[in-house]
Amino acid sequence: MPAATTELIPVRALNQVTYCERLYYLQYVDAVMPTNEHVEGGLFDHRRVDAPDLKGKTRSDRGTATTRGAALSSEALGISGVLDVIEEKNGEGYPVETKHGSAPRDADGNATTWDNDAVQLCAQALLMEEHSGKSVPRGFQFYAGTRERVEVKFTDELRAKTRAAVTRVRELEVLDAPPDPLPPELRNRCFGCSLAPVCLPEETLYQIARPAGGDKPVPEVTRVIPQSDDGAVLYLQEPGSYVGRRSEHLIVKKDGTELARVPIHAVRQVVVFGNVQLTTQALQTLVENEVPVAYLTGYGKFVGSLVPAGPKNVGLREAQYRRFAAPSECLALAKAVVRAKLANQRTLLMRSLRGDDARGSDDPAARGLYDLLCGIDGATSVESLLGMEGQGAALYFGAFGRFLKPQPDGRGFDFTTRNRRPPRDPVNALLSFAYALLTKDCFSAVCTVGFDTYKGFFHANRHGKPSLALDLMEEFRPVIADSVVLTLINNELVGPDDFLIWRGACQLTEQGRKAFFAAYEQRKATVVTHPVYGYRMSYARMLEVQARMLAAYVRGSVPAYTGFTVR
């Protein structure tokens, strides 16, 4: 367990720990700082307080001296902070704090303050008392939402609560994992919280209470995360082109001709294929806006990603190394992933072969996959699971050619066996390309959560191999990648003219890739029901949710990890 820090605690952290201890831990220990409309609103309301030309300066108006942005700290109290406003009138000084929301009401309908806001304001008063040597018996809380200024009296009870918050922060900052989410009676605080997509409070509590082996969705789990991602994925594949920045746009040019102009705010990811150059200014802007850039070869093989500064939650990576060093832990996680992959392969197989009064579950390959699923619990090593996963792949791809609809006029595709490095026919070229794009998305998900993507539990850890991204990817191969390939072929979105075969290697043309990108992004945007939590989300969001629940298991917050399966 890490040693306790002696750094001063920001007074705003006392607000967070009083409101929700898990919120405090994620924000100040794991250093996760997402924003939403409420956070942005708070920044807007503080624009005058935070103005550089006013900070630390005192002005007098009608007998009241006002100092904005006063920085105070105390080694004895163990806290520090920048006070929004200090007012002095008739020899009395007091703090004034601005909050974005609305003032709560007491039983008589009068404006009052939230407990967490009162604690933060009281901490400011304690700093003022030590700094000035004068008593500060009261302060004021200004709520911008209702334009009300509420007096707060610093009673002995409130002062004791504030000091207790300091003590609790010291206790929490040395924990290896965040505390449990808020109890049901306080769950309303989760709605509107910018950290809800990271915290996953409902999901975490359900996993903690979930009975061993239970697999039924729980209707009482309430979705508190966004259903879809904002922004689009920008694919860059024109050989010899380069991308620069002009104002708030990315400009794509080739031979001096502008090919495209894309607003940066509309982009959530950039994917670069082969010989495409990005200027330093464009890369810097993308990183500053937290837009990851994924690089693939001209043939579609994933190379790596340029991501913003990595998450600061070192504790997760320390727990990851400990967990993944234990064979029993690797075996338990590998079972969850292989079980999900085989189940999803069997589901896709049965759906594809159902028809003509035949039941897909009666197919020999489906029965073989079912037998493998029944044997997973008896596996005693990761190596044996690798063997079972390989047997499942043989059964699945042995039937894959039957998933393809016959096409007229010789426009159909044949599939006999899986081949790669390089793929030698159009179907295998599509599969390899789909797996490359899925790898880059899983890479992005595990990096976002804070994992070391090169330390996995199922795939062998080799130099330059993103093992953990490949581990997470297994359960999504059939439902995302394979499904896209079948959609493209069976709906005639690609044809033989969309492929080039040279020296035994097959790859998509530029036009074929455009069709692929559209189908792939459409599949990721598809909304499905989570098999455990019972609410709906996009496949793109599902990748991150699974990565976060894996992180919760690795840190010991939940007792088990459950792979994603479709029904």
Closest by CA position to 234, among listed 514, 482, 538: 514
> Residue by residue, what is the 3-state secondary structure of 151-201?
EEECCHHHHHHHHHHHHHHHHHCCCCCCCCCCCHHHHHHHCCCCCHHHHCH
Check if the beta carbon of residue 466 is closer than 8 Å to that of residue 443. Answer: yes
pLDDT per residue as tens digits for the range 90-138:
888 899 998 877 888 888 888 899 899 999 999 999 999 999 899 999 9
pLDDT per residue as tens digits for the range 353-392:
776 445 556 788 888 898 998 999 888 998 999 999 999 9
What CA–CA distance (Å, rounded) separates 476 from 213? Answer: 21
Residue 144 confidence (pLDDT) above 50: yes
What pLDDT does residue 56 have? Answer: 53
User: How far is residue 52 from each of residues 40, 47, 69, measured CA to CA in Å?
Assistant: 19, 10, 9
Tokens found for residue 339: 């079980």
What CA–CA distance (Å, rounded) separates 345 from 351? Answer: 10
Considering only 212-226, 252-266, 367-381, which range has the smallest mean pLDDT?
212-226
Between 266 and 270, the more confident residue is: 270
pLDDT per residue as tens digits for the range 278-334:
888 888 888 777 788 888 876 667 777 777 666 667 888 899 999 999 999 999 999
DSSP 369: H
Between 207 and 160, the more confident residue is: 160
What pLDDT does residue 357 have? Answer: 47
Between 503 and 339, the more confident residue is: 339
Q: Tell me which amino acid residue 557 is.
A: S
Residue 249 phi/psi, 5-degree rounding, is -125, 150
Check if the beta carbon of residue 372 is closer than 8 Å to that of residue 392. Answer: yes
pLDDT per residue as tens digits for the range 403-418:
888 766 666 677 778 8
What CA–CA distance (Å, rounded) separates 206 from 512? Answer: 44
pLDDT per residue as tens digits for the range 440-471:
889 888 888 888 888 999 887 777 788 999 99
Check if the beta carbon of residue 338 is closer than 8 Å to that of residue 346. Answer: no
Residue 38 confidence (pLDDT) above 80: no
Task: Report percent pLDDT > 70 for the chain.
Answer: 86
Tokens found for residue 481: 């990648």
Task: Report percent pLDDT > 90 for the chain.
Answer: 25
User: How far is residue 155 from each of residues 110, 484, 542, measured CA to CA in Å?
Assistant: 19, 64, 48
Between 392 and 532, the more confident residue is: 392
Pairing of strands 536-538, 242-246: unpaired
Mean pLDDT computed over every residue of the chain:
82
Considering only 102-106, 216-220, 425-429, 524-528, which range has the smallest mean pLDDT?
216-220
CA dihedral 429→430→433→435, nearest 10 degrees, is -110
Domains and CATH numbers, the chain: 9-172 (3.90.320.10), 232-291 (3.100.10.20), 327-554 (1.20.120.920)
User: How far is residue 437 from each of residues 22, 196, 510, measured CA to CA in Å?
Assistant: 34, 27, 16
Q: Tell me which amino acid residue 156 is.
A: D
Burial class of residue 191, CB neighbours in 10 A (0-12, 13-18, 19+): exposed
Query: Using 50, 70 and 90 to split pLDDT, how confident is the model at 2?
Result: very low
Closest by CA position to 81, among listed 162, 151, 191: 162
User: How far is residue 181 from each of residues 154, 218, 296, 528, 550, measured CA to CA in Å?
Assistant: 29, 17, 39, 25, 17
What pLDDT does residue 220 have? Answer: 54
Closest by CA position to 321, among listed 226, 426, 456: 456
Residue 399 confidence (pLDDT) above 80: yes
pTM > 0.75: no
Average pLDDT for 183-193? 79
Closest by CA position to 74, among listed 148, 19, 125: 125
What CA–CA distance (Å, rounded) separates 355 from 65? Answer: 82
DSSP 25: I
DSSP 466: -
